[in-house]
Structure 1
């Protein structure tokens, strides 16, 4: 089964690039069509797609549990909010699945995992560094705001921390400032990765070119890309409510959709 939609055919991995790729204008219909194609890809290989969602969900559960076990209760909120920021990197296998489904190619676990492992020797590794660096900045800024706004508050467990944050004036100030900082960092990370991640898997370009192309797509389609960012954010946060388990289904669909949206946003390579 192949994915649906009228996406242009993806290019080969080894195609060299000349200059900056050309970006296209996008409409809300592109998001709708990409979502349909992404859902079709999920239905084509639900077990394999769901595996990536399950892995991401289990990692999130273990990450939050380790923070609580270590007594770093203040890190639970930034971890839960910032966790979706690393989703584009986690979806590399989903991009490769969609690429092969669009071509009607047969593939197994080894094919997808081999492609994912090979990315560490390509520019994807630098994008992972950029993603984790912004994630680290988010934690650092969160801690700084926490110290400034809640310096006179005390809490020894997660319940005490949540009560302080959500039911005190100091906590409300902390949430307001933290939301602004988080929105800024999320916008930066979304802008540099939304197209860059699938592009690096699809083409032989350096990560700087990929990031600049991603930023150009967002800059030239601000309303559409803001809408796509909102869909991702709301879907991911709601999926995390039932102990992260909703991510088993939503992460694969969003990952496949991102691939198809990338194909519409960036013109194919001329041969």
Structure 2
């Protein structure tokens, strides 16, 4: 387990003076696999709650894909996947709560997990609104890329390739930016009475100073999302709860505390 603390580096993040940055721990490249193992343990302990949230996460991309089919904009399928990745951290709050309750030695409940957003309500809902704004922004960018596609060209792979490449590059940059912002923000807001700016800057700093482990973790998340879509969203019933539980353990490993956690 990673127990080494990194001194908060002096960089543009910590020197921004927007908010304080909570120190992070030093992560190992093998930590993402450990988080998955801990997430699987939590799944096996709470099968009923896991299925409930898993079904919720399966319905959401189904609705997104239905909207894509209704619009006929095939080029926005990839942006829709990215949008799902944006919404995920916000909706995963209930899963974080379940892992947190297990860590305390308590018995998780659906009611308790659904009320998890009330602990730091103003900042947590502010975070949700931020994600919605970013989602809308990304959809506008995707629409712009789609508008650049000449209507007289056939929808062949060769003709679509320039636009697919452009969309992939822009989407990759946007997804990396979202990993910085969302990796630890939600669990920070759940456990600590801090403002939104502090949570976001802390998340950005923790990802930035642990680039390799967090890129591996981001790759795992993206792979899970792709697998979920390939399986017709059925895979999300298992994959999204697993990622949610694992993300809580990632937060515990990554963000430092002044005192050791002692649960009753």
Shorter-chain-normalised TM-score: which range? 0.7 to 0.9
How far apart are 1:119 and its partner, in Å?
Answer: 5.6
What TM-score comes out, normalization by structure 1 length? 0.83
Tell me if 1:82 matches 2:83.
Answer: yes
Q: Does 1:137 align with 2:137?
A: yes
Spell out, residue by residue over 1:14-55, the C-alpha distance to the aligned partner (whole angstroms, 9 max, x if none). Answer: xxxx95311111002322222111110011101202211210
Q: Give the superposition deviation at 1:219.
A: 1.0
Name the SS for the 2:132 alignment partner.
Answer: helix
5+ long unaligned stretches in structure 2: 4-18
Higher mean Cα deviation, 73-82 or 199-208?
73-82
Question: Would the alpha carbon gap of residues 254 and 137 (structure 1) be closer, same or farther in structure 2, given more than 3 Å must change?
Answer: same
The number of equivalent residue pairs is 245
Q: What SS does the aligned partner of 2:30 have?
A: helix
The alignment status of 1:232 with 2:221, answered yes or no, reads yes
Q: State how far apart, in whole Å, the 2-side matches of 1:73 and 1:34 are.
A: 35
Per the alignment, residue 107 of structure 2 pairs with 106
- Select which of 152, 163, 176 maps to 1:187: 176
**Runs of 4 or more consecutive aligned structure 1 residues displaced over 4 Å after TM superposition:** 70-74
Q: Does the CA contact (< 8 Å) of 2:2 and 2:253 recur in 1?
A: no
What is the SS of the residue equivalent to 2:24?
coil
Q: Whole-Å Cα distance in 1 between the matches of residues 102 and 130 of structure 2? A: 29
Picking from 196, 209, 212, the partner of 1:220 is: 209
CA RMSD of aligned residues (A): 2.2
In the alignment, is the contact (CA less than 8 A) between 1:34 and 1:261 conserved in 2? yes
User: In 2, Cα distance between the equivalents of 1:196 and 1:58?
Assistant: 24
Deviation (angstroms), 1:74: 4.7
Residue matched to 1:38: 39
Unaligned runs of 5+ in 1: 8-17, 155-162
Given that 1:42 and 1:252 are in contact with CA atoms closer than 8 Å, whether structure 2 keeps it comes out as yes
Instruction: Return the TM-score normalized by structure 2.
Output: 0.85
Contact 1:190 1:229 in 2 (8 A): yes
